[in-house]
Amino acid sequence: MVSADRRAGPVGFNAVDAAADPGALIRFLDAANTTAGLTTAKRVLLEQLDLGRARAALDVGCGPGIDIAEMARLMPDGAQVSGVDLSEAMIAEARFRTASLGLRASVRTGDAANLPYPDQAFDACRVATVLQHVPDPARVIREMARVTRPGGRVGLLEFDQETAFVDHPDTETTRIILDTFAGTMVQGHMGRQLPRLLRAAGLTDVTVTPGVNLGNPQFFRNILHDHVARLAAEGVLTSQRASQWWSELDAWARAGDFLGGAALFVAVARRPV
């Protein structure tokens, strides 16, 4: 991931290497990557980056390298995909997963707010579900613009956690949980900022594609478990109320009535020639 302030995301992405089990975070990312809305949004992002014409592309905050192989597949023969992430554990996993690509893939540790690449090094540069964890997303986007060649494209994909929703019989408790959840993120309303920040970085021809990502009950439990427990520990919810909320959610899920998700946005722009 990238450097961030003292607030951490709900699954600890701001301190991956200090986590007791970094592998758990990698498994969470793999699970998230199977959700239909996120899969669709990533496909839109890659299509709009026009990778078929790119000789060099960069994945900022590449994590365990989930998307690098697909980027390489879309690019011409001889092209190279680079990945950068602050976490040594993530980069070690990314190296393992991209080993079969040989010289077509190159990953390294580095901070998204100070990218370790020269000016105008890439034809395309992307970041996906990272900016919500960053204290200064505008700086990251300026760095992405700096390393992109004139005429090249910069693409962003981000959730807007303040749009999270869950259908639940206890609407009052649900509102408390979801309204406070966005505050656990460094940037809980990141998605809606993307087009403005692209323009502020001097990029043009900005396009925005909205979407909704639906999660299954277990995915929501993974995301919200620690947050709900913290609300109970702080007295915002009683332990009984929190337990009842989970029980009712599980009951609806068993009945096939679960629905929950959040809005996400893909924004792509061009560096002026």
All structural domains of the chain: 13-162+186-214+264-270 (3.40.50.150)
Cα-to-chain-centroid distance, residue 96: 21
Q: Residue 6: its pLDDT value, please?
A: 26
* pLDDT for residue 12: 53
Q: Which amino acid is at 145?
A: A
Query: Residue 24 has what pLDDT?
Result: 85
pLDDT at 25: 87
Nearest 5°: the CA angle 131, 19, 224 is 60
* Assigned token pair, 244: 């009842």
Spell 37-66 as b/e; 16+ CB within 10 A means b: bbebbbebbbebbbbeebebbbbbbbbbbb
SS3 38: helix
Distance CA 75, CA 101 (A): 12
Q: Which residue has the tokens 């998230």?
A: 32
Segments of the chain with pLDDT less than 50: 1-11
Q: pTM of the predicted model, to two decimals?
A: 0.91
The two counts, helices (H) then strands (E), for the chain are 9, 7
Residue 19 has a pLDDT of: 65
In 3D space, the residue among 136, 125, 72 whose CA is nearest the CA of residue 271 turns out to be 125
Decide: 227 and 180 in contact? Cβ < 8 Å: yes
